[in-house]
Chain A
Amino acid sequence: MNVIWEGLLAAVRMLISLDPEVLEITWRTIQVSVTATIISIAIGIPIGTVLALTRFPSRGFWVSLVNFGMGLPPVVVGLVTWLMLARYGPLGMLGLLYTPTAIVVAQSIIASPIVAGFSMAAIQSVNPKLLLQIRSMGATRFQFLLLLLWEARLGILSAVIAGFGGVISEVGASMMVGGNIRGYTRVLTTATVLEVSKGNLELATALSIILLALTFVIVSLLSLWQQRKSAP
């Protein structure tokens, strides 16, 4: 109990005093997670839309694959990304291992199936009569898609929130492909692991509280937006 209390005090102290290292780690966490979420939206929503709207022979397989991907263990993603990006791996020439970009790559792989799966479900739950109506009013294919996504917006925002939640809380892959390098690839989760292993439980608690607060603020903003848009 004492440790949690001390951690809470330390977190408040660090936030008030604007501890430069903590600010820097927090800012990097935001940058990396938001970038990964945006990339996973760009990959996941189109895949989810295609799977929701089209029927083709191997569709069942792809749907299972997306649903399976929603539970991909981050450490496995981290290991595979590490092997791909390693100097003497297939993508070694990019020189991306142990950079923030490598973390973004791994986190995008983790979040894309989550976004795809949730948006597929969201689009499939749009009333089919409405779709017919849109079509009958002579909408072009593009207008149809936009209206469809608009109708499914609540579920799609949930997909984004879930994807974001997946990446900001992720530690195994970030540790492996980022290397937890001070001032370069250290994010809130990996910094917490390091401080625990150094025995600095107060500092680790403080970092956790900052991570929780940050996640809460971003998710609340998204939720507020989601609920505002849903008002009649």
Chain B
Amino acid sequence: MNKLFVGRHWLRGSMAVALLSLLWIAAASAAEVKDIILSTTTSTVDSGLLDELVPIFEKQTGYRVKTIAVGTGQALAMGEKGEADVLLVHAPAAEKKLVDVGIGINYRLVMHNDFILAGPSKDPAGLKGKSAVEALKAIAATQSVFISRGDDSGTHKKELSLWKEAGIDPKGKPWYQESGQGMGATLSMASQKGAYTLTDRGTYLSQKAHLELAILCEGDKPLLNIYHVMQVNPEKFSKVNASGAKAFVDFMIAPETQKRIGEFGKDKYGAPLFFPDAATESGKP
């Protein structure tokens, strides 16, 4: 075996590997300017809405959207650290804090749907016909199993505020279980266990076919589920892609997109999953 030859061979091999990795890294960083990190809730992804809207946005503007689907709590935390460019979230009280400290700008109402209490159709706790707060009281009184998201998502935040209103602290109770997962996974768990859960209507409708859960409580005012979009302030975080984020906000509230949101899911589920709201807000800064 020729020592010199083998030596060169190895050297060439490792140099090629190094060069390739550098090229890859360079390609990735060159593409970065056109990338937008959209931090959003699992419901907009699990329901399929963003799969429909994002490709249209990318085609119109040439940006590439990196959709990171997490709970609203984590999405807001990413915005707070400047790790995301634009947020699409649904926990108005928590969002307001971000807007107040000047991190969230260009804060716009996008759409709403509503939360529902779902559970086994036999409804052992007798939720039917009750208000949301009364329904939770009935669940606690009968000690029926309730599955909570437990992940600081918008849905979880809403659920906690409803428990608070009912004057019940469910934490640690044996019938109160936290899944720590997204809406889809939590619905599957509730369905498998014959348990109650709070869900947004969009995710419920999009997965209804797989679930043995019925809508037991709906239409109550505290169950409104409101989605806002906002940019992360580039004055606070220089690495934020401001123009891309602004383009995304503009896109989400554009009349054409709003129309699409209102149509989304109608053909498949017989009812829209989201109701567009941007038009009702015109004039608001």
Contact = CB atoms under 8 A, between A and B. Distances in A.
B188 A42 contact: no
A80 to B, nearest CB: 15
A197 B186 CA distance: 8
B28 A87 contact: no
Interface string B25-40: 1001100100001000
A146 B6 contact: yes
B51 interface: yes
Closest 4 CB pairs of A and B: A197-B184, A199-B210, A199-B207, A95-B32
Interface of B is mostly: helix
Nearest to B207: A199
A197 B46 contact: yes
B66 A197 contact: no
Given A88-B83, A197-B46, A199-B188, A140 B3 contact: yes
A228 interface: no
Contacts of B28: 94-96, 99-101
A86 B67 contact: no
Contact of B1 (A100, A146, A196): A146
Contacts of B64: 184
B51 A182 contact: yes
Interface of A: 38-39, 42, 86-88, 92, 94-101, 140, 142-143, 146, 179-182, 184-185, 194, 196-201
Contacts of A99: 28
A98 B66 contact: yes
Contacts of A184: 64, 66
Nearest to B46: A198
Interface string B234-250: 00010100000000000
A98 B32 CA distance: 10
Contacts of B3: 140, 142-143
B14 interface: yes
Contacts of A95: 28-29, 32
B171 to A, nearest CB: 24
B69 A180 contact: yes
A201 B207 CA distance: 11
B83 A201 contact: no
Interface string B78-121: 00011100000000000000000000000000000000000000
Contact of A98 (B29, B37, B81, B207): B37
Contacts of A92: 239
Given A42-B14, A196-B188, 12 more contacts: A88-B239, A94-B25, A94-B29, A98-B68, A142-B3, A181-B66, A194-B45, A196-B185, A197-B42, A197-B188, A199-B188, A199-B211
15 contacts: A38-B17, A39-B21, A88-B81, A88-B83, A94-B25, A96-B29, A97-B83, A101-B25, A146-B6, A181-B68, A184-B66, A197-B42, A198-B46, A198-B184, A199-B209
Contacts of A200: 210
B187 interface: yes
Nearest to B206: A198
Contacts of A182: 51, 54, 67
A140 B4 CA distance: 12
B181 interface: yes
A129 B66 CA distance: 57
A180 B45 CA distance: 11
A86 B24 CA distance: 18
A87 B237 CA distance: 10
B210 A201 contact: yes
Given A182-B67, A197-B185, A142 B7 contact: yes
Contacts of B7: 142
A182 B239 CA distance: 23
A95 to B, nearest CB: 4
B81 A86 contact: yes
Contact of B67 (A88, A181, A198): A181
A82 B206 CA distance: 32
Contacts of B187: 199
B276 interface: no
B223 to A, nearest CB: 22
B182 A197 contact: yes
A117 to B, nearest CB: 22
Interface in B150-192: 181-185, 187-188
Given A38-B17, A88-B82, A198-B207, A101 B6 contact: no
Nearest to B32: A95
B83 A86 contact: yes
Contacts of B24: 101
